[in-house]
């Protein structure tokens, strides 16, 4: 609460009332409860707003939060193919020894974070696959405006910390590795 008071004080007054998506407001109004609740008060305050007005309010709050907190997350995608034995469009857990993410888009420097894919939660659709998105952690600002990194326990900053989680029997065979040769195609087209 102290951090919010110091960094996001609008949530203690101006932004204190909860917001709901336009569709939820409309659906709730169709079966408005007889007993007053905090949700019914918030919905009643939003009932005259258009979809665009509610969207602007939500975007304004998100921008305010993102000025102080940046979410670090993955977005893994792969194609589905018989050759790679993928059943869904995310990488399989056995295709990597270590997953590495550069957080430069949310952090002022190139900083690499590492995870052992065997320690990441599996996809709900196939336990052999990674999920598409994982929350890695957050970047906050301290009182001097410097970034403060907070990562989940599955992710590591020093490479040696993730290296210690690896089991040699899980190693990827070199002949099974997929090598990205797109740079060669780009260079060939230049010459």
Predicted confidence (pLDDT) per residue in 61-117, tens digit: 999 998 889 999 998 876 655 555 667 778 888 888 899 999 999 999 999 999 999
Given 42, 66, 90, the domain boundary residue is: 66
Same domain membership, residue 78 and residue 45: no
With 0.85 as the threshold, say if the pTM is over it. no
Q: Which domain holds residue 113?
A: 69-176
Answer yes or no: is 50 within a domain.
Answer: yes
Given 22, 37, 66, the domain boundary residue is: 66
- C-alpha pair distances (Å), 165 with each of 6, 90, 150, 160, 171: 38, 22, 20, 9, 12
End-to-end CA distance of the chain: 60
pLDDT-based confidence at 187, cuts 50/70/90? low
Same domain membership, residue 138 and residue 94: yes
Predicted confidence (pLDDT) per residue in 13-23, tens digit: 999 999 999 99
Answer yes or no: is 186 within a domain.
Answer: no
Same domain membership, residue 75 and residue 62: no
Same domain membership, residue 151 and residue 163: yes
Both tokens of 111, joined, read 């900083």
Which residues, 6+ apart, have CB-to-CB distance to 113 below 8 Å?
Answer: 72, 100, 101, 103, 136, 137, 151, 155, 156, 157
Given 31, 66, 101, the domain boundary residue is: 66
Count how many domains the chain has.
2
Same domain membership, residue 142 and residue 54: no
Rg (the chain; Cα; Å): 23
Same domain membership, residue 80 and residue 171: yes
Report the distance separating Cα 52 and Cα 160, nearest Å.
Answer: 49
**Burial letters for 30-64: b for 16+ Cβ neighbours within 10 Å, e otherwise?**
eeeeeeeeeeeeebeebeeeeeeebeeeeeebeee
- Torsion sign, CA atoms 169, 174, 175, 177: positive
DSSP-derived pairing of the beta strands 147-151 and 135-141: antiparallel
Same domain membership, residue 140 and residue 60: no
Answer yes or no: is 55 within a domain.
Answer: yes
């Amino acid at each position: 609460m102290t951090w919010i008071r110091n960094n996001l004080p609008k949530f203690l007054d101006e932004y204190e009332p909860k917001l709901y998506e336009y569709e939820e407001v409309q659906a709730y109004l169709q079966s408005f409860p007889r007993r007053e609740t905090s949700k019914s008060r918030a919905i009643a305050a939003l009932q005259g707003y258009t979809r665009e007005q509610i969207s602007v309010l939500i975007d304004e709050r998100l921008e305010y939060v993102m000025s102080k907190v940046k979410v670090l997350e993955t977005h893994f995608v792969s194609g589905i193919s018989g050759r790679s034995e993928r059943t869904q469009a995310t990488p399989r857990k056995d295709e990597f020894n270590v997953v590495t993410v550069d957080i430069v888009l949310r952090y002022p420097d190139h900083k690499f974070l590492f995870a052992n894919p065997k320690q990441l939660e599996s996809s709900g659709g196939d336990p052999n696959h990674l999920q598409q998105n994982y929350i890695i952690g957050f970047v906050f600002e301290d009182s001097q405006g410097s970034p403060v990194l907070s990562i989940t326990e599955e992710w590591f900053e020093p490479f040696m910390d993730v290296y210690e989680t690896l089991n040699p029997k899980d190693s990827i065979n070199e002949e099974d590795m997929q090598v990205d040769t797109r740079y060669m195609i780009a260079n060939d087209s230049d010459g």
